[in-house]
Structure formats: structure tokens, C-alpha cells
Amino acid sequence: MAKLTTSVKAIKTELSKVKDNALLIGFFKGKSSLSPALKKLDKRYGNVISSFIKSHDFKAEKGENQRIFVDKGIKNIILVGLGEEEKYGFDILSTIIADVSKRLRDNKIESFSIFLDSFTNGKFKDEEAVEKMALGSLIGLYQFTEFKTKDKDKIKFVDKVTIMTSSSKNFDKSIGYACIVADTVNKTRDLVNTPPNVATPAYVAEYAKGLAKKSGLKCTTLDEKQIEKMNMGCFIAVSKGSINRPRLLVLEYNGAGKGKKPIAVVGKGITFDSGGLNLKPYPYILNMKDDKGGAVAAIHVIEACSKLKLPLNLVVVAPLAENMIDADSYRPDDVLTAYNGMTVEIKNTDAEGRLVLADALAYTADKFKPEVIIDIATLTGASLVVLGYVGTPFVCTDENMRKKLNNASAKSLEKLWELPLWQEYDDSLKSDIADIKHIGDEGEAGVITAAMFLKNFVNDVPWLHIDIGTTVWSKADKGMLTKGATGATVRLLIEMLREWK
């Protein structure tokens, strides 16, 4: 079988000495003059670059790229347009590197080099540019081939990416960080993409156990009986309709010693969401294997934290269940009792995520007394209405966390936008017969009312809720995205935890 993983390294070298299948050189729009290093390269290759720029009208528009066949030490020189320098930033850099990497792979180029100096300008730190380049390639080149059995040896892939620079800085740290982040993002995509007949709650729990063993994390899984014993009435009810029994997964990383309160990350882990008795109609039932995206992201975030040896304590709690139909399924109009004793009136069995999270959040707050709770969930279809496929909506009860999140969002290039938790939204969750109803008024502020419901279960612990209902999945192969699972929030949360104080 073909080796599909890509390795990245950064080396100091003189351009004219490079030997590779391709060399990428970046140009800003309207700035086609060659730097001294490029002049030297141009001369070595018989002025092929300067004459190509003149004769082919290369404008260096963003995304434009032109290939010059030279077939000497370097086989192809690729001129890459970076667009206007004033608008250039890490988002454009990573997107362009990801797109070009894919194109080269599709053209069967298994190794290529990037001339770092031409992709940076005064605004960037070289270390950060190297990190973003490596991430662009490694995340952009992701493909999910696990379930293909034919012609595996014909799958195209990039074996090696080399970042060339004249700088004598050491880039080991940047590359090391990018490799850990890309690996965890891509493993998240693999598991989210794994079909629901394979990735059952028990399978995900076993997978996490395997990761925990390798990374030295503490792993505990509770089975149905134990979940029931702990009075998680909402979680159990959701799990009832499936032959694939639930698990409550708990992973713990201790990087700051015993005295320090942990940060808790709770992830929704519905391995398939049929909607239950409120069955999702076709085509909305498709892709519902991605409903475990929050749990799977959380599992890989804690793995990354342990690999990066971050000085903090972290606990991940993931309720894993399948929302299916059976004689034993929970129903609309049922009243359930949550872990914290609250009674919850059910109105739609397709709003199952908030129920498994209600118990998981209350359990986390009670058992671990965390400093903060972050939950990640493919919670609502309404998230598509709010920000489309571009960004992820979140709510937050704490100014400090809000700041941390916004910083991490800018650095990780994952776009998020906050929605308010105004008291008025609470009215729609009033129940005639129980303490609370689990859904609000149809078609009205669905992301917020779902969050308002969850807020009842966090015991006033500073809380951040991220709704990845839309951004967990990509319809297109574009930039760093590959059609399918995106690994949403993995880069964001690693970035947030990396800077945690």
C-alpha cells in the first residue's frame, strides 16, 4: 500500500543548490522584481524566471500559479501569486500553500520545496510562517482512503515537503508543533469520517483507550450500568433505542500537578443521529456520523496537550451514544430526570445532543470542580443559518475565556463569532409540567436556545459552548479543507490551551 503520510522539514540552503521535483516561489501583486537570492537562481537556470514573468504576463493575483518546466536540479519552478501585499496574512499563506500542495499532488509530484523568504514579508515572524506553511501542507493534503480496497497503490500522495530559507534560525519547534497539530486534526477527521456501523460508542471508547495508553493519559470508561447508577437519566434515555450501548468516556491529563483545578472539555459523541422517533427525513439523515465530531475533537485535543507537555491539567468527558429507533426508544412528551435532579420535558427526540450533554456537563462540574468548562457539539442545524459554512457560533459566560478564545481564533485561523445569552430566551424553555423543556420555539434562535438549555447544567462554572453543527463538515476540497470531516476546533483549542495562564 502507498505510504500516504507527508513529512515536512525546514533547512537553510542556497536556492541554486536545491534539487527537487518542484520549487515554489511566492510573488506579491505588482512586485515581480527578483530578490538577490532569486536573481542568482534565475541566472543558474538561464534567466527562465525573469523571462517567463515578462512573456507570460504573470500578475501574481491571489491563487494564480504558473509552472515552468526546467528539468535540471529542479524539475518545475512554480510561480505562486500571493495577491496584494497589504491584504496578505497567515490565512492567505496557509490557504495558498494548501491549494498548491493539492495541485502538485494531483500532478503526481511526490516531493517539493518552498522558498520561505518569498512567502513572508516584514510583518511575519519566520517561525510562525514555517508553522503555518507546514500546517497548510499537512492539513491540506489530508485524504480519507481507509475504506477503499481497489488500486490503493495508485493513490497520489506527497511524501516530502522541504521549506528552504536563507535564515539560520532553528525551526524544529515550529515544525514539531505543526506536526502534532496536523496529526491530531487529521486523526480527528479520520475518526469522524469512519462510518457509523464501524464507529460505535464502544469503538470510539476503545480507540480513546488506545490513544491514552500511548500518550500516558488516564482513561476511564463507564458502561450502561454505571451510567444508569449515576442517575444520568437524559443520557440513558437517548441511548435506549440502539443496540450499540453507550459509554461515558473520561480522559485525564495531569501536566500541572495535583493541586491545580483542571480545565474540562466536554464533547458530544452521538455516533449516528437518526433523529430517533422524530426520524430525520432524507437527505437530512445523511452524514449524521459527524454527530460525534465534538467528542472526537476533544479526544485529540487532550492527546495533543500531552504530546506538547503543556503545563496544565485537563479532563475530557465524552458521552457516547447512538440515537436510534426501537421499542425502547425515548419519546416526545417523556419527562426525564437529569444527573443534577432537574426534570426535563422532551418535545423532539432529534434534540438529543443537549440531553447527553446536560448529564455530562453536570457530572463534570460536580465530579471535577473544574476551573472552566468548554463544550464542543454538533448541536444544531440552526448554526448553518447563523454563520453558514464560514464560521462557528459560540456562547460564553466569562470575559477571560472570551478573550482567550478570540486570541486563539485569530492565531489558529478558525473563525468564530459570539451569540448572546439574553434572559429573554429562557422563556421559550418553560415547561407546563416539568422543570424545563429541552427545546425553544421552532425556528427562533435555535443555537442560543440550545445553549440556554445547557447553561442549566454547568453549575455556574465559567463556560464556553462551541456549536460545530455546520463547520464539522466540508462540502468542498478547498484550501486546508478536504471534502468530509474538518477536525473543527482542534487547532483552535490547542492554540487556546497552549497559551493558557
Q: Which residues are catalytic?
A: 280, 354
CB count in 10 Å sphere of residue 148: 11
Q: Toward ligand BES, which CB reaches closer, 155 or 279?
A: 279
Q: Toward ligand BES, which CB reaches closer, 381 or 462?
A: 381
- When asked if residue 495 is in the footprint of Zn ion (CB under 5 A), the reply is no
Interface characters, 416-455, with ligand BES (x: CB under 6 A): -----------------------x------x---------
CA distances from 340 to 223, 346, 364, 428 (A): 19, 17, 11, 21
User: What is the C-alpha separation between 18 and 14, in angstroms, rounded?
Assistant: 7
Q: Toward ligand BES, which CB reaches closer, 218 or 475?
A: 475
Phi, psi of 257 (to 5 degrees): 85, 165
- When asked if residue 319 is in the footprint of ligand BES (CB under 6 A), the reply is no
Minimum CB separation of residue 393 from ligand BES in Å reads 12
Minimum CB separation of residue 352 from Zn ion in Å reads 5
Minimum CB separation of residue 363 from ligand BES in Å reads 20
Minimum CB separation of residue 429 from ligand BES in Å reads 11
Contacts of 82 (CB under 8 A, 6+ apart): 26, 27, 28, 29, 60, 62, 88, 92, 93, 96, 119
How many residues of this chain interact with ligand BES, rule: CB under 6 A?
15
Interface characters, 339-358, with ligand BES (x: CB under 6 A): ---------x-xxxx-----
User: What is the C-alpha separation between 141 and 57, in angstroms, rounded?
Assistant: 29
Choice from 291, 345, 467, 495 touching Zn ion (CB under 5 A): 291
CA angle 483/487/490 to nearest 5° reads 155
Q: Within positions 235 to 294, which residues make up the interface with ligand BES, using CB under 6 A?
A: 273, 291
Q: Nearest-CA neighbor of 397 among 414, 366, 422?
A: 422
Q: Within positions 178 to 207, which residues make up the interface with Zn ion, using CB under 5 A?
A: none
Minimum CB separation of residue 485 from Zn ion in Å reads 15
Cell of 185: 486534526
Minimum CB separation of residue 443 from ligand BES in Å reads 10
Q: Per-residue b/e over 405-420, b at no fewer than 16 CB within 10 Å?
A: bbebbebbbbebeebe
- When asked if residue 469 is in the footprint of ligand BES (CB under 6 A), the reply is yes
* Contact partner at residue 380 from Zn ion, ligand BES, none, CB < 5 to 8 Å by partner kind: ligand BES
- When asked if residue 382 is in the footprint of ligand BES (CB under 6 A), the reply is yes
Minimum CB separation of residue 481 from ligand BES in Å reads 16
Phi, psi of 39 (to 5 degrees): -60, -40
- When asked if residue 322 is in the footprint of Zn ion (CB under 5 A), the reply is no
The stretch near ligand BES (CB under 6 A) out of 181-189, 237-245, 375-383, 454-462 is: 375-383
The stretch near Zn ion (CB under 5 A) out of 106-114, 214-222, 288-296, 337-345 is: 288-296
CB count in 10 Å sphere of residue 126: 17
Q: 3-class SS at 397?
A: coil
Cis peptide before 201 (omega within 30 of 0): no
Distance of CA 114 to the CA centre of its chain: 25
Choice from 381, 462, 498, 500 touching ligand BES (CB under 6 A): 381
Q: Nearest-CA neighbor of 475 among 353, 390, 381?
A: 390
Half-sphere exposure of 177 (CA within 13 A, CB side): 16
Binding site for Zn ion (CB under 5 A): 270, 273, 291, 350, 352-353
Binding site for ligand BES (CB under 6 A): 273, 291, 348, 350-353, 378-382, 439, 446, 469
